[in-house]
Structure formats: structure tokens, C-alpha cells
């Protein structure tokens, strides 16, 4: 059993202020798979004091960007070496199927490479170019670190969420306190061990599992210069209000209810095969999942039938089995939440095509739900508008292309989406009409070289690429 009785504060493993350890419970069979210390406000104080001291000394802040990049390249090499162990830890604590956590490690390599390249090409310093040739002004525009960063991440994809904030913040020369979910204490303590071996200066980074109250204490703290948050829209609103009151810099990556627009000419076999991942990755516990599927009326029943065959073909079971496609949800609370939404869909009048609120037979010992498909869904139904965060798909009919775009955009969210068509040029034209931060055509993968984030209630700011790196800097102009 994994037992962690220390907290990673400022680069060292320290005794926690509260010696009680949290039991970490397997989503698969609800056995105890580990115990770990949890941070309290006193530990946050220590971590922020270390971060502020390190930043003010300038040991990391004043390190040349090329040297920072080289050190973080070493961190990613260590992570890549231990990719299999990381994948298995996340599966153990989260219930994410092993196929997904293994694929996630390859994705992390792409993410890191994109950030490292962005740092190498970044305009850390530029000469002022006068608009008037006769102007005597000379000077320089600097991109300097924002200061002490409070990074707060969710449980569903812990390593990706952590590195999406740690890498750009550290590459820019900031000090960071990373607050992680208690459910992820195993994988995030492993991450802390990698950071320890990377050789960052003292005080620059802390990794602290903690509850929601401690998280609010962190983001409200006067020593924090910037908040970087990934999580629910509800929590994001609270953090935005705190940031507004204190004029803290803030970036928010929040929820989604992404639409997959299936155009009339789509190859249905390829579309459904692509939606297997796009809609159901990570047990459906993904903010970018395309769970709202828009189908043309002339092919509506054909689409519903094909999706029914897909959903019923999914292997549900032990996430440690490489043959499992859907594992258990992260907690009994999340299991109950998803089952409640399935009952709600039935009450709202949606047609239950397959699945339902019953727990899959033989899997009553864990946090399992039956993958479910609803048809005849109206976009005003709660199951079409609210983020369920589980393997529940809804199919909404549309009349024509304009109607499809209208329905896709009729959402409080705007994080991701997809367009499916045999005509890629036409699909790209439709994609431009969607009010969402990212759109994939025919299941194309995301690019970490471009910005990722949301419109509307899906967030503020962007991650990845030069835009994601830039959000951890301030402009400073010096003239002479």
C-alpha cells in the first residue's frame, strides 16, 4: 500500500500540520489503496512563504530562459521514463481505464514539447520600435514572471492538468504552489518526486493535496499574484470573484457540453468510430467530451442506431484490464450524480435507447454506471445543457445546417466541439461558425501548439502554446 505522510513544500518533504492521513479508496472495488497527508491552511502559509522568498531572491526568476527550459526538459525526460508507473497510479486512484492513462502519457510528451518550443521561441525581450522616425525614444519590452502562482487542478486528468500549469509557469520564471485533489494524492506525490529530482531551486514549487476549503484559503491569500484554475464553472465563478476583489491575475479552464455536429454527408462508420473516443474518453469524465450529438433529421434514426450499437459494444469493468474501455467513476458521489441525471433524462421525456440508471451486473462493488444513450432530446432539457461528466450521450435532431449551428451555439458553454463530414473544407467552414474555443474536424487530435480554452461559461484565458506561456508573464516597458 502507498503511504505518504509528508507534504512536498518548497522542494522538500515536510511534516504536515495535521498528522491524520486520508484513506485513498479504489473506484473499482472501494478497497483502501493508499493513505496520504492533506494540506491545511498552515501548510499553505509555509508553501507560499517559501514561494515568495524564492521569487524575491530571484534565484529562479533571474535564471536565463534557456537554462530554465533545459531544466524542465530534464523534468519531462524523468516523467517519460516513468510513464507506465504514472499511468497505473492514475488508473488505481481515478478508475480511468489503462488504455486512456497510457495514451495520456504520450499526449503529455506532445504537451511538454510544445511548451518547451514556445519557450525557446518566445520574445522574452524586444526593442521598442518608435512609430515616428524622428522620435528619440529608445527602449525595451520585457516579458517578466507574474510572481507567485496558485495553480488549482481537478481530479479527472491530474498529470495533464498539473503540467499544463506547472510547465508554463516555471518556464516563465514564477514560483508555484500546486493544489491538487485529495483523490489524486498518489499520482501527484509521484509528480512531486519527479520535481524533486529535477533540481529546481529551493522554494520554487510545492505540491499539496487539499480539500475545497483549503483551496479557497490558497486562492484568497495575499501572497498569491496569479490564480490558474481548472475545474467546474461553479467553482470558477467563485475564484473569479475572489480574483476580482483582490485584482489578482486569473485564468480559468472550466466546464463544457460539447456538440458533435454530424453533417448529412458524414461517413457514419467513421463518425461513430471517432465518437467512441471523442464522446467517451476517460469514462466520459472529460470537459471536452462531445456528448451532445446533433444529427440531421433525414438520417436521425440511422445515427441513433449506429450509436446504440457503439454504446452496447463497450467493455465496462476493471480499469486495470487493458481490454476494458470504460472503468468506474472516481467516487460514489460522482456515480450517484450520473445515475441521477439518467433518471432525469427519462423524467424529461427523452427516449432511453440503451443503458439506464441501473449499475452494471456484477460490478456493484465499485463506482460503475451503465453507459447510456438518449434520443429525441430537446436542447432545452437539462441532460442537453448541463455537464453530466459520465458516459451519457444525447442525440438531438436538426433541420438544416443553420439549425445545427444554432443548436450547437445554444449552450452556456463553449469549450470544445466537433464537425463530421466527408467534405473537410465544408466541415471547416461550419467549424468557423461554432462559438467554442476548439473545434475538431472528423476527430482530428488537439494541437498543443495552439491555444486551448473556452468561450462563455467555459472559462477565461488560454493554455498551451505561446498564448499559454504568455499568461504567466507581465509586460514591462523600459525607455531611455
List residues with catalytic annotation. Answer: 253, 287
DSSP string, 295-354: EEGGGHHHHHHHHHHHHHH--BS-TTSTT-SB---SSHHHHHHHHHHHHHHHHHT-EEEE
Rounded Cα–Cα distance for residues 362 and 309 (Å): 21
For 297, what's the count of Cα atoms within 13 Å in the CB-facing half-sphere? 5
DSSP conformation letters of 158-212: HHHHHHHHHHHHHHTT-EEEEEE-GGGHHHHHHHHHHHHHHTPPTTSEEEEE--H
CB atoms within 10 A of CB 211: 15
Helix, strand, coil tally for the chain in percent (to 5): 40, 20, 35
β-strands 370-375, 351-356: how paired?
A: antiparallel
Q: DSSP letters of 237-274?
A: HHHHHHHHHHT-EEEEE-----EEEE-TT--HHHHHHH
Query: Which residue is it, cell 525614444?
Result: 137
**Closest of 156, 199, 203 to residue 177, by C-alpha:** 203
Instruction: Determine how β-strand 259-262 pairs with β-strand 417-420.
Output: parallel
Terminal alpha carbon distance of the chain: 62
DSSP 63: S
Please report where in the chains the cell 498528522 appears, as a residue.
19
Residue showing cell 506525490: 189
Burial letters 71-90, b for 16+ CB under 10 A, else e: bbeebbeebeeebeebbbbb
CA separation for the pair 432, 287 (Å, rounded): 21
Residues 6+ away with beta carbon under 8 Å from 135 = none
Instruction: Determine the Cα–Cα distance for residues 447 and 183; give it in Å rounded to an integer.
Output: 28
Amino acid at each position: 500500500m502507498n503511504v505518504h505522510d509528508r507534504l512536498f513544500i518548497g522542494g522538500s518533504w515536510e511534516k504536515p500540520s495535521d498528522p491524520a492521513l486520508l484513506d485513498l479508496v479504489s473506484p473499482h472495488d472501494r478497497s483502501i489503496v493508499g493513505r496520504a497527508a492533506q494540506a491545511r491552511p498552515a501548510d499553505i502559509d509555509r508553501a507560499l512563504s517559501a514561494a515568495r522568498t524564492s521569487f524575491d531572491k530571484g534565484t529562479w526568476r533571474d535564471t536565463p530562459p534557456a537554462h530554465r527550459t533545459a531544466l524542465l526538459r530534464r523534468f519531462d525526460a524523468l516523467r517519460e521514463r516513468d510513464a507506465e508507473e504514472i499511468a497505473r497510479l492514475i488508473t488505481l486512484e481515478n478508475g480511468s481505464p489503462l488504455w486512456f492513462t497510457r495514451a495520456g502519457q504520450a499526449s503529455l510528451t506532445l504537451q511538454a514539447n510544445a511548451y518547451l518550443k514556445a519557450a525557446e521561441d518566445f520574445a522574452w525581450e524586444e526593442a521598442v520600435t518608435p512609430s515616428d522616425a524622428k522620435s528619440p525614444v529608445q527602449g525595451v519590452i520585457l516579458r517578466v514572471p507574474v510572481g507567485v502562482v496558485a495553480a488549482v487542478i481537478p481530479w479527472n486528468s491530474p498529470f495533464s492538468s498539473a503540467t499544463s500549469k506547472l510547465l508554463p509557469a516555471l518556464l516563465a520564471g514564477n514560483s508555484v504552489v500546486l493544489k491538487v485533489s485529495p483523490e489524486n494524492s498518489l499520482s501527484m506525490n509521484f509528480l512531486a518526486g519527479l520535481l524533486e529530482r529535477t533540481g529546481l531551486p529551493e522554494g520554487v514549487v510545492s505540491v499539496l493535496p487539499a480539500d475545497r476549503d483549503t483551496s479557497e484559503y490558497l486562492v484568497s491569500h495575499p501572497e498569491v499574484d496569479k490564480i490558474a484554475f481548472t475545474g467546474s464553472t461553479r467553482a470558477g465563478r467563485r475564484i473569479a470573484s475572489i480574483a476580482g476583489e483582490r485584482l489578482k491575475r486569473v485564468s480559468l479552464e472550466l466546464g463544457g457540453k460539447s456538440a458533435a455536429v454530424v453533417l448529412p454527408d458524414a461517413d457514419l462508420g467513421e463518425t461513430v468510430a471517432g465518437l467512441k473516443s471523442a464522446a467517451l474518453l476517460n469514462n466520459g469524465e472529460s470537459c471536452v467530451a462531445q456528448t451532445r450529438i446533433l444529427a440531421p433529421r433525414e438520417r436521425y434514426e440511422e445515427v441513433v442506431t449506429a450509436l446504440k450499437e457503439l454504446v452496447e459494444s463497450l467493455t465496462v469493468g476493471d480499469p486495470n484490464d487493458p481490454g476494458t474501455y470504460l472503468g468506474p467513476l472516481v467516487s460514489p458521489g460522482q456515480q450517484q450524480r450520473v445515475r441521477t441525471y439518467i433518471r432525469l433524462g427519462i423524467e424529461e421525456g427523452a427516449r432511453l435507447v440503451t443503458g439506464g440508471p441501473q449499475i452494471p451486473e456484477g460490478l456493484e462493488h465499485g463506482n460503475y454506471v451503465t453507459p447510456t444513450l438518449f434520443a429525441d432530446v430537446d436542447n432545452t432539457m437539462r441532460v442537453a445543457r448541463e455537464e453530466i461528466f459520465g458516459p451519457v450521450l444525447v442525440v438531438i435532431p436538426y433541420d438544416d445546417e443553420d439549425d445545427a449551428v444554432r443548436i450547437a451555439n445554444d449552450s452556456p458553454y463553449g469549450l470544445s466541439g466537433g464537425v463530421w463530414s466527408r467534405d473537410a473544407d465544408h466541415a471547416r467552414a461550419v467549424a468557423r461558425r461554432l462559438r467554442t474555443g476548439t473545434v475538431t474536424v472528423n476527430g482530428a487530435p488537439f494541437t498543443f501548439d495552439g491555444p486551448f480554452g473556452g468561450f462563455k461559461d467555459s472559462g477565461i484565458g488560454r493554455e498551451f502554446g505561446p498564448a499559454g506561456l504568455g499568461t504567466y508573464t507581465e509586460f514591462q516597458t523600459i525607455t531611455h
